[in-house]
Amino acid sequence: MIKHTWLLSAALCAMTAQAQMSPLGLWRSIDDETLQPKAEIRITQNTTGGLSGVVERSLQNNPNTDPLCNLCTDDRKGKSKIGLEIIRGGQQSDGKPVWEGGKILDPENGKNYSLRLTPIEGGKKLEVRGYIGAPLLGRTQTWIRVQ
């Protein structure tokens, strides 16, 4: 009986660790300039298997920040940044802990970028890379897992 309990515990730990090596969950983005928390984004998997990332709340106290995505050029134009879907699409890359093929929107400038998500540090952090063309031509942010 002890052997079965140990095996069950080991299996649950392995499943928890695997779940953490996924971009799914609630993440805190960090402002590139101030290095302060900027927003919380929840990443989920949609019905087609792609990813969806929605801004759940702003963590900025800047009253000069436009609450609407007025610079967006697609269906998100004029929508509130809170509740805005900033990640669309993306699939796991051949069983590797990397998700690619989606797009990420920067609501500050309204631009869409190709997306690469890589969980790091056991899934406690997420490297979020937005780029144009090749991944070498872009910028990486590190988001911190909230849950």
Token pair of 23, please?
């971009």
For 20, counting Cβ atoms within 10 Å of its Cβ (0-12 exposed, 13-18 middle, 19+ buried), the class is middle
- Does domain 22-145 bear CATH number 2.60.120.650? no
Which pLDDT score is estimated for 144? 97
Q: In whole angstroms, give the CA distance from residue 48 to residue 89.
A: 9
Average pLDDT over every residue of 109-128: 97
Identify which has the larger pLDDT, 70 or 14. 70
Residue 137 has pLDDT above 90, yes or no: no
Which pLDDT score is estimated for 2? 54
Name which of 8-17, 83-92, 126-135 the model is least confident about. Answer: 8-17
Average pLDDT over every residue of 62-84: 90
CA neighbor of 24 nearest in space, from 145, 130, 142: 145
Domain ranges of the chain: 22-145
**Residue-wise DSSP of the chain:** -HHHHHHHHHHHHHHHHHHHTSS-EEEEEE-TTT-SEEEEEEEEE-TTS-EEEEEEEE----TTS-SB-TT--STTTT-BSTT-EEEE--EE-TTSS-EEEEEEEETTTTEEEEEEEEEEGGGTEEEEEEESSSTTSEEEEEEEE--
Which pLDDT score is estimated for 13? 42
Average pLDDT over every residue of 103-131: 96
Residue type, 90: G
Tens-place pLDDT, residues 1-36: 555 444 444 443 444 444 469 999 999 999 888 889
Which pLDDT score is estimated for 63? 67
Which pLDDT score is estimated for 47? 87
Average pLDDT over every residue of 81-94: 94
